[in-house]
Amino acid sequence: MKRVNCLIPRMLTVSEIKLLRQSKAEIAKRVSELVHLKAENAYASPVDYRKKH
């Protein structure tokens, strides 16, 4: 990650906006996959992970 120190706010470039949107979409897709996997595992395993073993 690039760190930028700037006291004056600036508008994002078109390419920066495109990258942010792409990143948000990738994160949303991955979260959806993980939630789906967790739901599948909940039905496959009778173990209640909320209880301390």
Over the stretch 12-37, which tens digit does the pLDDT of each residue have? 999 999 999 999 999 999 999 988 88
Token digits of residue 27: 């994160």
pTM (global) more than 0.75: no
Looking at residue 48, its amino acid is D
**Rounded Cα–Cα distance for residues 43 and 45 (Å):** 6
Domain range list for the chain? 23-51
**Rounded Cα–Cα distance for residues 18 and 35 (Å):** 26
Residues 25, 33 contacting (CB under 8 angstroms): no
- CA 41 to each of CA 37, 44, 45: distance values in angstroms, whole numbers, following the listed order: 6, 5, 6
